[in-house]
């Protein structure tokens, strides 16, 4: 799956409980074992080794929705043997290599690694639990961990529950968040790590996830562009941005969150305005005095976006941007197919 999983790469998919992480993963695995389509991509056919905390009763609806999910090599947590965590992963790697599987999924990481109590907060315990997974990736497997975000949330990469050693060890972090109350079926995938970053907008429907249509995604990007037009170096509160943009509180917050996750804006605690946060431009040397519309040129002959496949354009800074997942589009993402 370009931009999310790749051979020899360890990725983490994080999000709030019941936000749709397991559903997203199930749809992707069902497409992989058949060589089917997922988020606009035709995925290469491969077997998957899946360690899941699902039980037969909770797994049944997903298998009804995606019959091909039954082809995935699945081990439920209640079926685990008496071996240690490193031994369990070593056995899973052996099974994967024997069956030709190219992806190992662990859902959820904390449950399978038995990180209980304060263990999840301990960098030592987390790194010890990550060691066999990093070894699995070194053998050429794509490794995907499912993990929960903390209740207090946080900027992308810092929202995951537990020690920061987990994020530090990952090659790719994919944070799945709900969009807004106005769009309850919408999800945002914020992708960051050692490879080109991206923000994807997807819709959760009866038959799984789909890329949001261009018109809907453009609305989100339009809100972000409007905020960038007004953001200043000294920062503005959500209320002040509402007055300047005439957007609703919810749309301002959603756009500000997206810009912060993408590294285009900073969020800091206000010192003299109650409990409010201030949003400011992330890079004054690039943004100061340059409205978002001014950095856009005509659609160029640049390669299509490596994440969405949509048309791109080149900015005044020579950066390639995509109409759907700006600002992180990069053709180099295509170099990471599974």
Nearest C-alpha neighbor of 304 from the set 293, 312, 294: 312
Lowest mean pLDDT among 51-65, 129-143, 258-272: 258-272
Assess whether pLDDT exceeds 60 at residue 156. Answer: no
Give the integer Cα–Cα distance in Å for 209 and 231: 33
Nearest 10 degrees: CA dihedral of 17, 44, 96, 78?
A: 30
pLDDT at residue 325, rounded to an integer: 44
Distance, in Å, from the CA atom of 34 to the CA atom of 48, rounded to the nearest integer, reads 11
Cβ-contact 338, 6 below 8 angstroms: yes
Q: Which residues contact 251 (CB under 8 A, 6 or more apart)?
A: 180, 182, 223
Mean pLDDT of 317-338: 41
Cα-based distances in Å from 210 to 100, 177, 197, 218: 28, 15, 19, 16
Name 322's bridge partners.
312
Residue 56: band (very low, low, confident or very high) from pLDDT cuts 50, 70, 90: very high
The reported pTM is: 0.68
Specify the 3-state DSSP secondary structure of 42: strand
* Nearest alpha-carbon partner for 49 in 27, 71, 77, 18: 71
Residue 79 pLDDT > 90: yes
Band of the pLDDT at 289, cuts 50, 70, 90?
very low
- Listed residue (281, 283, 286, 284) closest to 317, CA to CA: 286
Write down the pLDDT at residue 40.
Answer: 77
Residue 326: phi and psi, rounded to 5, are -50, 145
More confident residue, 138 or 264: 138
The pLDDT tens digits for 220-255 are 667 787 888 888 777 888 888 888 887 777 778 878
Query: Distance (Å, rounded) from C-alpha 113 to C-alpha 123?
Result: 14
Q: What is the pLDDT of residue 188?
A: 83
pLDDT on residue 209: 82
User: In this structure, what DSSP letter does residue 68 have?
Assistant: G
Q: Give the pLDDT of residue 157.
A: 59
Helix (H), strand (E) at residue 110: helix 109-113
Measured between alpha carbons, how far apart are the two ends of the chain, in Å? 5
Q: What does the DSSP assignment read for 276-297?
A: -EEEEES-HHHHTT--GGGG--
User: 252-271 burial, b if ≥16 CB within 10 A, otherwise e?
Assistant: bbbbbbbbbbbebbbeeeee
Q: How far apart are CA 76 and CA 105, in angstroms?
A: 12
Rounded percentage of the chain residues whose pLDDT exceeds 90: 37
Q: Is 188 exposed, middle or buried (0-12, 13-18, 19+ CB in 10 A)?
A: buried
Average pLDDT score, the chain: 78
Cα–Cα distance measured from residue 109 to residue 283, given in angstroms and rounded to the nearest whole number: 35
pLDDT in tens, 170-213: 999 998 888 666 677 888 888 888 877 777 888 877 777 888 76
How far apart CA 246 and CA 292 sit, in angstroms, is 17
State the pLDDT at residue 309: 55
Of 223-237, 261-275, 317-331, minimum mean pLDDT range: 317-331
The reported pLDDT for the residue numbered 243 is 85
Tell me the domains of the chain and their CATH numbers.
10-211 (3.40.50.300), 214-335 (1.10.10.10)
192 backbone dihedrals φ, ψ, rounded to 5°: -145, 165
Q: For residue range 93-121, what is the model confidence (pLDDT) as tens digits?
A: 999 999 999 999 999 999 999 998 889 88
User: What pLDDT, on the 0 to 100 scale, is given for residue 304?
Assistant: 60
């Amino acid at each position: 799956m370009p931009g999310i999983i790749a051979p020899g790469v360890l990725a983490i998919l994080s999000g709030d409980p019941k936000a749709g992480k397991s559903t997203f993963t199930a749809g992707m695995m069902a497409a992989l074992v058949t060589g089917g389509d997922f988020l606009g991509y035709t995925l290469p056919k491969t077997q998957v080794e899946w360690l899941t905390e699902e039980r037969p009763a909770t797994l049944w609806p997903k298998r009804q929705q995606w019959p091909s999910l039954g082809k995935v090599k699945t081990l439920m947590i209640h079926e685990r043997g008496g071996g240690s965590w490193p031994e369990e992963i070593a056995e899973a790697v052996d099974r994967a290599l024997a069956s030709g599987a190219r992806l190992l999924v662990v859902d959820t990481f904390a449950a399978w690694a038995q990180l209980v109590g304060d263990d999840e907060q301990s960098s030592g315990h987390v790194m010890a639990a990550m060691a066999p997974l990093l070894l699995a990736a070194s053998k050429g497997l794509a490794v995907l961990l499912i993990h929960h975000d903390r209740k207090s949330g946080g900027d992308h990469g810092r929202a995951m529950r537990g020690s920061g050693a987990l994020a530090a060890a990952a090659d790719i972090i994919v944070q799945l968040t709900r969009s807004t109350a106005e769009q309850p079926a919408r999800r945002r995938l914020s992708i960051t790590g050692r490879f080109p970053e991206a923000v994807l907008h997807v819709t959760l429907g009866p038959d799984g996830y789909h890329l949001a249509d261009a018109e809907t995604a453009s609305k989100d990007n339009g809100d972000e562009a409007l905020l960038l037009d007004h953001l200043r170096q000294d920062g503005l509160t959500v209320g002040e941005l509402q007055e300047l943009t005439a957007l609703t509180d919810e749309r301002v917050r959603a756009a500000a969150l997206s810009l912060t996750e993408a590294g285009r804006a900073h969020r800091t605690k206000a010192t003299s305005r109650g409990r409010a946060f201030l949003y400011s431009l992330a890079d004054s040397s690039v943004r100061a005095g340059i409205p978002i519309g001014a950095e856009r040129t005509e659609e160029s002959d640049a390669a299509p976006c490596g994440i969405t496949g949509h048309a791109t354009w080149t900015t005044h800074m020579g950066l390639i941007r995509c109409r759907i997942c700006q600002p992180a589009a990069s053709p180099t993402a295509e170099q990471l197919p599974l």
